[in-house]
Copies of this chain bind each other. A is one copy, B any other.
Amino acid sequence: MDTMVAGVHFLPDDPADLVARKLLRVNLSDLAASGATPLTYFLSLSLPASVTGDWIADFASGLATDQRIFGIALSGGDTTSTPGPVTLSLTAIGEVPAGQAIRRASATPGEDIYVSGTIGDAALALVLMRKDGVEAALARAPALVARYRLPEPRVALGPALRGIATAAIDISDGLFADLGHICETSGIGAEVSFSAVPLSEAAARQLAGDPQLSEQIVTGGDDYELLFCARPEDAPRIAELARSLGLPITPIGRTTTGTAPLVKAASGEAMSLKSPGWRHF
């Protein structure tokens, strides 16, 4: 169940169809992290009087598109008025065979840590959009803005990790913070090398222009990639899974007997992260 509030989780003039699709996708991403396959969803819309019929039509059209893509349908929900901003709440229901759900709390020291896809794209899009405005960001780095607006929930990877991942989480708060959630609930530490974190070409280009963006990449959030732990002997199975899904799955570090995550810079020093969590803009 995830809630998105206009002005907190999205900009009031973000395209309504993309807002709808992002809302559905961030929930599907949560299901994937549990190894669950999507079954259905419930939706609550709290709308101020200023919302237009066009906005609602666009929102519905975005939902319809993603319902087709992900083979999921709306089962119910609620619609209310509000004197506040547009507030959208979605509960996605998935299923997983009994006892096979992937949890956050079951990682142990000495395991490999992996992430799917690439990290930091959405956070870098947000940096650009804040600095230069949406239009300029779209012109300069359309791939990053697209990743921010429309995450790709790893719905095929999640269920395939049952029996392989010892723990998993989807990266919404940021790689560092979400790895921290696994460390905290599992009672372990983790050591990740920044140089191993997979970047898209567009993100690598931004980072080359401003090396300080490394902090945004590991703390920015909104990636909706899966971060998971697995025993070293399962490395070949994971490599095979990446091949069969056509999705990069990259080892970025190891779990330890510590109590918190640590990201090492190329220098070998631990990165000092000013804002470890994700903040709403």
Contacts and interface: CB of A to CB of B under 8 A. Distances in A.
A2 interface: yes
A44 interface: yes
B46 A80 contact: no
A82 B84 contact: yes
A83 interface: yes
Nearest to A85: B84
Chain A binding surface SS class:
strand
A84 B83 contact: yes
A76 B46 contact: no
A181 to B, nearest CB: 13
Interface of A: 1-5, 7-9, 42-44, 46, 76-78, 80-85, 87, 89, 91, 93, 280
Contact of A77 (B1, B84, B93): B1
A1 B44 contact: yes
Contact of A89 (B9, B83, B89): B89
Given A2-B44, A84-B87, 4 more contacts: A2-B78, A5-B83, A46-B87, A91-B91
